[in-house]
Copies of this chain bind each other. A is one copy, B any other.
Amino acid sequence: MSAIEFWYEFASTYSYPAAMRIDRLAADAGVDVRWRPFLLGPILKAQGLNDSPFNIFVAKGRYMWRDLTRICEVDGLPLKLPPVSFPQNGLKAARLALVGERQGWTPAFTRAVFAANYAEQKDISADATLHEILAALGVDADAAMIAANAPDNKEALKRQTEEAAARGLFGAPSFTIGDELFWGNDRLEAALAWAKRATS
């Protein structure tokens, strides 16, 4: 079966609609999805950017919120602006998402964290928010948080982020099929078409 890797960062606005629609579109295309959380901060920092480009470049940031609003309207996704802060710190959520990969709850957890960030104005860096999300999914939240903070899991997220940089990623969401890179929620359809063609 064809497969695609979905790279996302919990602070990234356009990763929200991508996370909400990728499973449906991938199923329609007959493509498997591997969910790969990573941290965009270190990658932006290496480019000399110490904040989100949407904060550094004001006109671009203003446009992004308007564009995101239109996209969520078309997709029927709830959106409540402004979020608690922007960008939020997605470190803890990303570590948890890695734990979830071994246990199968990463996609549902990821969607819930994005909804908390952009539709519910919640602080996704707060343990209470993450605990509540995990519990609602029927996950043993305390055990998951201990696993998330274990040295090997912290190291795994670092390696995942280094792999993202090595594979040419510079923003989120991104999609990879082997060496082929697609950047942006608006490239999801093209990435799925590529994945389908690559193995047909």
A residues with a Cβ closer than 8 A to B are: 47, 57-60, 62-63, 66-67, 70, 74, 165, 168-171, 181-184, 186-187, 190
Flag if A181 contacts B57 (CB, 8 Å).
Answer: no
Flag if B62 contacts A168 (CB, 8 Å).
Answer: yes
User: Secondary structure at chain A's binding surface: helix, strand, loop or mixed?
Assistant: helix
Flag if A66 contacts B181 (CB, 8 Å).
Answer: yes
Flag if B60 contacts A171 (CB, 8 Å).
Answer: yes
A62 to B63, CA, bound (A): 24
A60 to B40, CA, bound (A): 14
Flag if A59 contacts B168 (CB, 8 Å).
Answer: yes
Query: Which 8 A-B pairs give the minimum distances between C-beta atoms?
Result: A59-B170, A186-B186, A60-B170, A47-B57, A59-B168, A63-B183, A63-B181, A63-B168
